[in-house]
Chain A
């Protein structure tokens, strides 16, 4: 075997020829790095004149110059991006940097206090909260979403009728063809094909999966005892695709497929989706109003009892859920804390108009009130001064 030209020979001969140039380039690189300007955050002074009837709303738009950071849920990201921009433009001068790194990462960063707020699709558990280093945690519902049960059946438009138990049986692999008697009996007169159902689900952990499996667990004992409820579950059948766009792409490309897609995504892409039978026994299409009707049925949600799937009411669409913001009850910086609570008070009230433009479901009035009650508990460093004020 020929000896490889490594070691001292290589060092003394070739390295000497190459190194000076490399060293110089490295030095120049370092100089360039150190001379780059430090990032500047500009904050505008505020001169708001908006005066709705809501006394808090005026205060929301008062001068609260500052820069906040948050991290978490990807579901919230389009809404947050737009809402924070609008808030900044309304002469508040508040800039918010939101990193949509996923709920898990958001909770971790919030626990370690590297961000001012976190956002998560499923509230923090008591175990999660015990790991938070900043004291008592408050969880505020900020966004509401529903899920469309989408399918690709050549020749069949939106409006196939499905029930929770039948969907659970499809996902459990008990109902395997489109013309199975369980589906046929719900859709008399519809010419259902005999092809196998190609089910698709989210492969990435997601709040969307949590809401869907939460629903399946509530309507099907077999699902509750089997795969159960979670952000990623062990699916008995079907294909996993990453993200809403992955699931949507699969359904679009695959005839006879069936899967759950975020409502906003299904509405914006003109998907075909099913009418789902709700707890009152009525078949309901998913829409902003039917999801809101479902959510309004349960005004007393808490971070422990937060599930709103399968609520009563004739117009309730049963597959829906909240996304949550995380803030510490005791704010160590009075000014930033004040900015934070007013931002979220705005976000859960006037800011919901921005949610609607992006096909998120605006929070029902009773939940807006709940958000405010929660934010009123936030205090300054002394533990007494309420930060959310009307003036």
Chain B
């Protein structure tokens, strides 16, 4: 169950089989080194080709590619700021919903649910990860969008009296719906990893806390979650990575308007969605190079978010914690 668990030693056939394939240590190291090098080279080649193909866009638009909000293929003016903001906004909304629900769900699966329901419920959550993203997109567009328009958005607007952040036209599709869909899509990642990490908290620690007279809630809050927090941050990072790059489902529900949103009901666009939308027909000058540049920026943003998460892990893992190996 635990992520750091070692594979139990097996006897008999495997040992005999291993003897058949006995190769010196050096050969293994060479083979593993080659595989590791292959992926490094692939990544470098990938980045290099993106840099080469996007160079003309960066050279032509300069810094304004990062700061301009205008994206206009007809008049050859490309600025990616709206997409960067859109990606960060949708990801933020998604994590705002997914993190508390994900941790709660993981705690419930690890400690609150009867033992015989743990496996079926856990499998059900993990199956959500197997649903293709285009299905989430269709569900969002055909089922959730009308609900949002008819019930949820009017209710939210009522709460703030039609002011920020729930202002403007209620059409269903937009930033809020994209965030909601994304949160559902990243939940399995959140839940599955957090649950494994929570279940790896040593039984003795928990029993010791109970022995001191702590209530169930106190044990969770003061013993279980603190020792698992590194793993939970790790789960959040992985989930954030997925939310940042998710393409087709977001494209289908976000409304695809390259403008900085002024409300959660506003339509928007993300870096991934603009690439998915315009890549196939990008024949105008600088259009394709600009789209590849947006892809490069998405990579940079993902790396930055990952680095931030590593720093966060480092700052919370001064003490012994479970799940360090995740990052």
The answer to whether A104 and B281 touch across the interface, beta carbons within 8 angstroms, is: yes
The answer to whether B171 and A127 touch across the interface, beta carbons within 8 angstroms, is: no
Apart from the given pairs A198-B171, A240-B255, 16 other A-B contacts in the complex at a CB distance below 8 Å: A2-B324, A15-B32, A20-B20, A20-B21, A103-B280, A204-B276, A205-B73, A227-B72, A230-B73, A231-B73, A240-B256, A240-B267, A241-B173, A241-B252, A242-B277, A249-B141
In residues 1-29 of chain A, which contact B (Cβ within 8 Å)? 1-2, 4-5, 11-12, 14-21, 23-24
The answer to whether A239 and B257 touch across the interface, beta carbons within 8 angstroms, is: yes
Q: Which residues of A contact B278 (CB under 8 A)?
A: 204-205, 232
Q: Which residues of B contact A196 (CB under 8 A)?
A: 169
How far is A16 from B276 in the complex, measured between Cα atoms in Å? 43
How far is A104 from B320 in the complex, measured between Cα atoms in Å? 54
Q: Which of A4, A104, A230 contacts B279 (CB 8 A)?
A: A104
The answer to whether B74 and A206 touch across the interface, beta carbons within 8 angstroms, is: no
Query: Which of B59-67, B183-191, B213-221, B283-291 participates in binding chain A?
Result: B283-291
Q: Is B142 an interface residue (CB 8 A)?
A: yes
Q: Which residues of B contact A103 (CB under 8 A)?
A: 280-281, 283
Q: Is A254 an interface residue (CB 8 A)?
A: yes
The answer to whether A239 and B74 touch across the interface, beta carbons within 8 angstroms, is: no
The answer to whether A203 and B280 touch across the interface, beta carbons within 8 angstroms, is: no
In residues 53-85 of chain B, which contact A (Cβ within 8 Å)? 70-75
CB A58 to nearest CB in B, in angstroms, measures 38
The answer to whether B7 and A239 touch across the interface, beta carbons within 8 angstroms, is: no
Q: Is B100 an interface residue (CB 8 A)?
A: no
CB B22 to nearest CB in A, in angstroms, measures 9
Q: Is B145 an interface residue (CB 8 A)?
A: yes
The answer to whether A16 and B72 touch across the interface, beta carbons within 8 angstroms, is: no
Q: Which residues of B contact A14 (CB under 8 A)?
A: 6-7
Q: Is B25 an interface residue (CB 8 A)?
A: yes
How far is A259 from B173 in the complex, measured between Cα atoms in Å? 16
Q: Which residues of B contact A1 (CB under 8 A)?
A: 317-318, 320, 324
Q: Is B242 an interface residue (CB 8 A)?
A: no
Q: Is A66 an interface residue (CB 8 A)?
A: no
Interface centre among B14, B255, B320 (most CB of A within 10 A): B255
Q: Which residues of B contact A238 (CB under 8 A)?
A: 257
Q: Which residues of A contact B281 (CB under 8 A)?
A: 102-104, 121, 204-207, 231-232
How far is A240 from B82 in the complex, measured between Cα atoms in Å? 15
Q: Given A233-B74, A242-B256, A254-B171, A17–B7 Cβ distance below 8 Å?
A: yes
How far is A206 from B281 in the complex, measured between Cα atoms in Å? 6
Q: Is A250 an interface residue (CB 8 A)?
A: yes
Q: Which residues of B contact A107 (CB under 8 A)?
A: 283
Q: Is B149 an interface residue (CB 8 A)?
A: yes
Q: Which residues of B contact A240 (CB under 8 A)?
A: 255-257, 267, 269, 277
- Complex A-B, nearest 9 residue pairs according to Cβ-Cβ distance, in ascending order: A102-B280, A205-B281, A240-B256, A203-B256, A228-B74, A234-B72, A230-B74, A20-B21, A239-B255
CB closest chain-B residue, reference A231 = B281
The answer to whether B18 and A2 touch across the interface, beta carbons within 8 angstroms, is: no
How far is A153 from B173 in the complex, measured between Cα atoms in Å? 19
Q: Which of B169, B257, B279 contacts A235 (CB 8 A)?
A: B257
CB closest chain-B residue, reference A253 = B146
CB B138 to nearest CB in A, in angstroms, measures 9
Q: Given A18-B7, A101-B280, A234–B74 Cβ distance below 8 Å?
A: yes
Q: Which residues of B contact A241 (CB under 8 A)?
A: 141, 173, 252, 255-256
Interface centre among B20, B281, B283 (most CB of A within 10 A): B281
How far is A128 from B282 in the complex, measured between Cα atoms in Å? 12
CB B65 to nearest CB in A, in angstroms, measures 16
Q: Is A246 an interface residue (CB 8 A)?
A: yes
Q: Is B172 an interface residue (CB 8 A)?
A: yes
Q: Which residues of A contact B283 (CB under 8 A)?
A: 103-104, 107, 120, 122, 125, 128, 231
CB B79 to nearest CB in A, in angstroms, measures 11
CB A321 to nearest CB in B, in angstroms, measures 14
The answer to whether A246 and B280 touch across the interface, beta carbons within 8 angstroms, is: no
The answer to whether A246 and B73 touch across the interface, beta carbons within 8 angstroms, is: no
CB closest chain-B residue, reference A100 = B280
Q: Is B120 an interface residue (CB 8 A)?
A: no
How far is A205 from B71 in the complex, measured between Cα atoms in Å? 13
The answer to whether B257 and A4 touch across the interface, beta carbons within 8 angstroms, is: no
The contact sample of 6 A-B pairs, CB cut-off 8 A, is A19-B31, A102-B279, A204-B281, A205-B281, A231-B281, A250-B141
Q: Is A105 an interface residue (CB 8 A)?
A: yes
The answer to whether B71 and A234 touch across the interface, beta carbons within 8 angstroms, is: yes
CB closest chain-A residue, reference B22 = A20
How far is A231 from B31 in the complex, measured between Cα atoms in Å? 49
Q: Is B12 an interface residue (CB 8 A)?
A: no
Q: Which residues of B contact A127 (CB under 8 A)?
A: 285
Interface centre among A101, A128, A207, A246 (most CB of B within 10 A): A246
Q: Which of A2, A16, A125, A250 contacts B173 (CB 8 A)?
A: A250
Proximity bits, A241-272, B CB within 8 Å = 1, else 0: 11000100110011000000000000000000
CB B27 to nearest CB in A, in angstroms, measures 10
How far is A18 from B8 in the complex, measured between Cα atoms in Å? 11
How far is A20 from B255 in the complex, measured between Cα atoms in Å? 51
CB closest chain-A residue, reference B230 = A1
The answer to whether A23 and B21 touch across the interface, beta carbons within 8 angstroms, is: yes
The answer to whether A227 and B74 touch across the interface, beta carbons within 8 angstroms, is: yes
Q: Is B17 an interface residue (CB 8 A)?
A: yes
Q: Which residues of A contact B320 (CB under 8 A)?
A: 1-2
Q: Is B325 an interface residue (CB 8 A)?
A: yes
Q: Which of A4, A104, A246 contacts B324 (CB 8 A)?
A: A4
Q: Which residues of B contact A128 (CB under 8 A)?
A: 283
Q: Given A16-B18, A17-B7, A198-B169, A204–B280 Cβ distance below 8 Å?
A: yes
Q: Is A95 an interface residue (CB 8 A)?
A: no
